[in-house]
């Protein structure tokens, strides 16, 4: 068994960061939708804050990921995402 590290720790952390942010947004949004007017204004305000923070956290992760596309290691860069080089095109064709 040979270990081949593909994604660097920052990329893994960013993906988990954005997944948690999406879960926070989904659960808070679903709660607001389901309970709506049946909850107190104080509780609605707290859930709103969770929803807003989740959105800003996701946006921050997305900005860092876009920056990492240009300055990260070769496996995290934008060239590794699109089959642009002849070797990548060959791998793409073999995969399909």
Percent of the chain scored above 70 by pLDDT? 97
Q: What is the 3-class SS of the chain, one letter each residue?
A: CCCCCCCCHHHHHHHHHHHHHHHHHHHHHHHHHHHHHHCCHHHHHHHHHHHHHHHHHHHHHHHHHHHHHHHCCHHHCHHHCCCCCHHHHHHHHHHC
Most confident of 4-8, 26-30, 74-78: 26-30
pTM for the predicted model, two decimal places? 0.76
Question: Domain segments of the chain: what residues?
Answer: 9-95
Q: Looking at the predicted structure, is the pLDDT value of residue 78 above 80?
A: no
Give the pLDDT mean for 67-89.
80
């Amino acid at each position: 068994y040979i270990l081949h590290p593909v994604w660097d720790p920052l990329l893994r952390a960013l993906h988990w960061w954005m997944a948690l942010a999406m879960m926070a947004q989904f659960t808070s949004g679903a709660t607001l939708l389901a309970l709506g007017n049946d909850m107190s204004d104080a509780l609605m305000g707290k859930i709103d804050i969770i929803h807003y923070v989740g959105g800003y956290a996701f946006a921050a992760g997305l900005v860092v990921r876009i920056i990492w596309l240009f300055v990260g290691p070769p496996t995290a860069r934008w060239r590794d995402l699109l089959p642009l080089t002849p070797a990548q095109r060959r791998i793409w064709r073999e995969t399909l």
